[in-house]
Chains A and B, each alone.
Chain A
Amino acid sequence: MSRAAPEPVQVVKQRRDAALSALVDGLPYARFLGISFDRRGDELTGVLGFHEALIGNPELPALHGGATAAFLEVTAIVGLSWAMIWDDLERGMLDAATLTPETLPRLPKTIDFTVDYLRPGLPRDAYARARVNRSGRRYASVHVEAWQDNRARIFAQATGHFLMPPRDD
């Protein structure tokens, strides 16, 4: 039985990075907050680059709870959307070369989002990763954790429920 030759690595990377760019570029609010995403295979890490406008308590100083909540929610939505398009992308059913924020599948909508503030956010970069605990046809449940200096020392976490966009198939 003959097997197709593996795709050249740059083709794989270009496809995945193009799809991720289309997804993140479609979120003006992510740009406003200074959020970018690192990708290793299918694993995404949200990066919130520190800047003064994220401060909520100038005396401590500490990140604003609202900025932290927004970072967690953006990471959850991008993580869930990424998981949603990954299979179609890899099977060639979505063409990364022509993907734009306008032609991407619709994004999931947040139903509810519960944030747990564990310690003050320090005035420096923060990171977050989302885990999709369940993703059905209509609903999804996503957990997301954020940390700064130490991966094990989480400063905020959240769980959210999302309404999945309608699918044609």
Chain B
Amino acid sequence: MSDTGSDAAPEGARDATEDMAAGAKADVARRFIEQIPHAHALSMRVDQLGDGRAELSMPYDSRLVGDPRNGVIHGGAVSALLDTCGGTAVLSHPEGPAQTATISLRIDYMRAATPGQRLVARAECYHVTRSVAFVRATATDDDRGHPVATATGTFTADGGAE
């Protein structure tokens, strides 16, 4: 079992402090994301966070367009949102590491994001070993039923679960 985030808690006190620890971890992760210059440049916002799941969103911005003929956001900007969302999910996992970096990320692009609409990414860190965290993520616009892109990624997890 991981001891991340609860080093200071005495034996036996862990159960009582678990909810607080999870909340504190979510706050740390939220502050961490907001301090990332590139996430800030893309106006990313943490909408939901905790227990290995993260929801991040990003407003439409004409500077991120990949094809001026249709005003569609470039795939690279969608990648940046999915990558950040994946890393955030890893940090919020109860057995996750205090720091992480992307090892690999695969993105499948299903359709163009509708111009003018906010992009929302949801990521789930579904498994953590002592060295690696595994993530899947989806990006949508207002049409939540039809994903814009899906991703699977692996992230470093030094000090992750045994």
B83, CB-defined interface residue at 8 Å: yes
A64 contacts B80, C-beta separation under 8 Å: yes
B62, CB-defined interface residue at 8 Å: yes
Scan residues 68-125 of chain B and give those whose CB is less than 8 A from a CB of chain A.
Answer: 68-69, 73-77, 79-84, 87, 101-109
Of the candidates B83, B103, B109, which one forms a contact with A69 in the assembled complex, judged by CB atoms under 8 Å apart? Answer: B83
Instruction: Mark each residue of chain B from 20 to 50: 1 if its CB lies under 8 Å from any CB of chain A, else 0.
Output: 0000000000000001111111100000000
Of the candidates A26, A28, A64, which one forms a contact with B64 in the assembled complex, judged by CB atoms under 8 Å apart? Answer: A28
Interchain nearest-CB distance for B139 vs A (Å): 12
B37 contacts A52, C-beta separation under 8 Å: yes
B144, CB-defined interface residue at 8 Å: no
B106 contacts A113, C-beta separation under 8 Å: yes
> CA of A27 to CA of B75 in the docked complex: distance in angstroms?
12
Interchain nearest-CB distance for A158 vs B (Å): 9
> CA of A116 to CA of B106 in the docked complex: distance in angstroms?
9
With contacts A65-B83, A111-B108 known, is A117 near B103, CB below 8 A?
yes
Chain B interface residues toward A at CB < 8 A:
35-42, 62-69, 73-77, 79-84, 87, 101-109
Interchain nearest-CB distance for A75 vs B (Å): 10
> CA of A67 to CA of B103 in the docked complex: distance in angstroms?
14
A27 contacts B66, C-beta separation under 8 Å: yes
B105 contacts A115, C-beta separation under 8 Å: yes
A112, CB-defined interface residue at 8 Å: yes
Closest to A70 in B: B76
The interface residues of chain B lying within 8 Å CB-to-CB of A77 are 66
> CA of A101 to CA of B70 in the docked complex: distance in angstroms?
12
A66 contacts B79, C-beta separation under 8 Å: yes
Of the candidates A32, A64, A70, which one forms a contact with B63 in the assembled complex, judged by CB atoms under 8 Å apart? Answer: A32
A66 contacts B101, C-beta separation under 8 Å: no
What bracket does the count of chain A residues touching chain B fall in? 35 or more
Tell me which of A65, A73, A106 has the highest count of chain B C-beta atoms within 10 A of its own C-beta.
A65
> CA of A70 to CA of B67 in the docked complex: distance in angstroms?
14
Of the candidates B36, B74, B108, which one forms a contact with A58 in the assembled complex, judged by CB atoms under 8 Å apart? Answer: B36
Scan residues 85-119 of chain A and give those whose CB is less than 8 A from a CB of chain B.
Answer: 101-102, 106-107, 109-117
Of the candidates A64, A70, A111, which one forms a contact with B74 in the assembled complex, judged by CB atoms under 8 Å apart? Answer: A70
Scan residues 4-40 of chain A and give those whose CB is less than 8 A from a CB of chain B.
Answer: 26-29, 31-33
The interface residues of chain B lying within 8 Å CB-to-CB of A53 are 37-38, 40-41
List 6 A–B pairs whose Cβ atoms lie within 8 Å, in order of A's numbering. Answer: A26-B67, A28-B64, A55-B36, A57-B36, A70-B80, A113-B109
B105 contacts A114, C-beta separation under 8 Å: yes
B109 contacts A109, C-beta separation under 8 Å: yes
Closest to A100 in B: B68
> CA of A63 to CA of B37 in the docked complex: distance in angstroms?
10
The interface residues of chain B lying within 8 Å CB-to-CB of A114 are 104-107
> CA of A52 to CA of B83 in the docked complex: distance in angstroms?
18
> CA of A117 to CA of B86 in the docked complex: distance in angstroms?
14
A113 contacts B79, C-beta separation under 8 Å: yes
Of the candidates A27, A102, A110, A120, which one forms a contact with B101 in the assembled complex, judged by CB atoms under 8 Å apart? Answer: A120
With contacts A54-B37, A66-B38 known, is A113 near B62, CB below 8 A?
no
